[in-house]
Amino acid sequence: MGEPTPDADSAAWIASLRRTPQQARSRARLARVLDAAERILVEEGVESLTTTRIAAEARVSVGSLYQYLPDRGAIIEALAAGYFAKLEAAMDELVRAASAERWTDPVGVLIDAYAEIYRTEHGFRALWFGNGLTERTRAADREHKRRMADGIRRILLALHLAEDDDNLARACHAAMLAADVLAQEAFRRDTKGDAALLEEAKILLRGYLTDIAARYDVS
């Protein structure tokens, strides 16, 4: 039986490593390792993310694992990179949809789309709600949120709800940070997302979007 082919998310994990495997076979093996790491994260928690445990789960030698993932911090950083890539790819799809469609409720579309990702990405929740995030991961998360905020900016422009300037970028970043805090709290309360809190988030952010749009004459 051959090695699995890395998918887009595994490729993002691999690209985050301090040393990148060059051969296709090595990349596929590392993708399998990262899949094993995610299973352990979901089933046993971040405390179990050790190189020894992951090597055993993936059926590879600890020595080969050390080349790319020397410690728990590197493992966490690689997993986080995959989750960031998935969220940003979803945002890119929403930008394309906004360019082709007319949304009557942009806030509702965005929150519902990301709530569904939170529901299905058990590893993302396990990592973010645990206590093992590294400083490098937190720094990467800040940059990730800026990229997500830029996605919101592009959506507002595609929907002709604003004009492009520094104020719009700042407002979208604020909206992204508020949405992230509310979403995390909703999923801390309930693994399916606290429906009432998600609805309150929509009300809050619709009001903010109305305020943003009122700053621009886009008629």
What digits encode the pLDDT tens for the residues 193-205? 999 999 999 999 9
- Mean pLDDT of the residues in the chain: 88
What are φ and ψ of residue 111, in 5° steps? -65, -40
**Residue 13 binned pLDDT confidence (cut-offs 50, 70, 90):** low
- What is the pLDDT averaged over residues 163-171? 95
**Residues of CATH 1.10.357.10 domain(s) within the chain?**
81-214
pLDDT at 14: 56
If DSSP states are collapsed to H, E and C, what string results for the chain? CCCCCCCHHHHHHHHCCCCCCCCHHHHHHHHHHHHHHHHHHHHHCHHHCCHHHHHHHHCCCHHHHHCCCCCHHHHHHHHHHHHHHHHHHHHHHHHHHHHHCCCCCHHHHHHHHHHHHHHHCHHHHHHHCCCCCCHHHHHHHHHHHHHHHHHHHHHHHHCCCCCCCHHHHHHHHHHHHHHHHHHHHHHHHCCCCCHHHHHHHHHHHHHHHHHHHHCCCCC
pLDDT at 1: 41
- Chain segment 32-48, per-residue pLDDT in tens: 889 999 999 999 999 99
Q: What is the Cα–Cα distance from 138 to 109, expressed in whole angstroms? A: 27
Q: Indicate the residue type of 92.
A: D
pLDDT at 16: 57
Q: Are 77 and 140 in contact (CB under 8 A)?
A: yes
pTM: 0.85
Q: What percentage of the chain has pLDDT greater than the value 70?
A: 89
50 vs 23: which has the higher pLDDT: 50
pLDDT at 132: 81
- What is the pLDDT averaged over residues 95-105? 94
- What is the pLDDT averaged over residues 173-182? 96
**Which homologous superfamily is 81-214 in?**
Tetracycline Repressor, domain 2 (1.10.357.10)
Residue 58 predicted with pLDDT over 70: yes
The CATH number of the structural domain formed by 8-66 is: 1.10.10.60
Structure tokens at 158: 């595609």
83 vs 19: which has the higher pLDDT: 83
Structure tokens at 104: 């009557």
**Residues of CATH 1.10.10.60 domain(s) within the chain?**
8-66
